[in-house]
Amino acid sequence: MGKFHLKIAKDGQFYFNLKADNNQVILSSEMYTTKAACLNGIESVKTNSSQDGRYDSLTAKNGKFYFTLKAANGQVIGTSEMYESEAARDNGIASVKKNGPDAGVVED
């Protein structure tokens, strides 16, 4: 099962990475000013990650593929890494769907 890794950036802000079983980062958050806000972001991923309509499949200017996960209000709550193919991006979405809803939280 995947895990949310809650971290503190050098500037004191908080963020999280959702990692799959193989320890690969499959979703990264924005920066949050408080730990409580970051934990709310994690809860939002848990709530929204199982819903197909919350994902936007995108292509970067460099031709690589990535996706974002949005909350019900349309705000982006997580962004994937860059993938070489659409199929790899789709596998990343499937991994977030699988791991996101029940992932535990660890503080790094």
pLDDT digits (tens, 9 = 90+) for 17-42: 999 989 999 999 999 999 999 999 99
Look up the CATH number of domain 3-107. Answer: 2.30.29.80
Are 44 and 50 within 8 A, CB to CB?
no
Element spanning 43, H or E: helix 35-48
> What is the helix (H) or strand (E) element at residue 91, kind and residue range?
helix 86-99
Q: What does pTM read for this prediction? A: 0.93
Distance CA 28, CA 56 (A): 15
Q: Which residues contact 43 (CB under 8 A, 6 or more apart)?
A: none
* Radius of gyration for the chain, computed over Cα atoms and rounded to the nearest angstrom: 13
Q: What is the pLDDT of residues 58-82, one digit of tens each?
A: 999 999 999 999 999 999 999 999 9
- Would you give the end-to-end CA distance of the chain in angstroms? 17
Measured CA to CA, the distance from residue 49 to residue 44 in angstroms comes to: 8
